[in-house]
Amino acid sequence: MITDLTVGTGRFNLAQGTLGALMGIAASISTIGTGYIDEVFGSGAGFIAVTIIALLATGLTSSSAPTVRRRSRSLKIGPAQARA
């Protein structure tokens, strides 16, 4: 997805590094938040909270991905690239 969004901009490495940093921050916040919910409400509530957040993230990604998918389909792929 990063490649599709940054084609021709020269910002691929910046986008990939930013996304990696954001994923690391999100992982640490998730651990802290889930630990708190587990302590206060129990492990079942912590699991449900993480599941809901994951489903929301999946929905957000799916709703924003069709523009990337349409752009990818319009790219011409030659026979040599199709075999690779």
Tens digit of each residue's pLDDT (9 = 90 or more) over 60-76: 888 877 665 555 555 55
Containing structural domain, residue 52:
2-68
Q: Supply the pLDDT for residue 16.
A: 92
Number of domains in the chain: 1
Q: Supply angle C-alpha 37, 41, 47, rounded to 5.
A: 60
d(CA 28, CA 42) in angstroms, rounded, equals: 20
* 3-class DSSP state of 14: helix
Q: pLDDT-derived band of residue 49, with 50, 70 and 90 as boundaries?
A: very high
Q: Is residue 46 part of a domain?
A: yes
Q: Is residue 57 part of a domain?
A: yes
Q: Is residue 7 part of a domain?
A: yes
Q: Is residue 54 part of a domain?
A: yes
Q: pLDDT-derived band of residue 6, with 50, 70 and 90 as boundaries?
A: confident
Q: What is the dihedral of CA 71, 74, 76, 77, to 10 degrees?
A: 70
Q: Is residue 78 part of a domain?
A: no
* 3-class DSSP state of 68: helix
| pLDDT (tens digit per residue) in 21-43 | 999 999 999 899 999 999 999 99
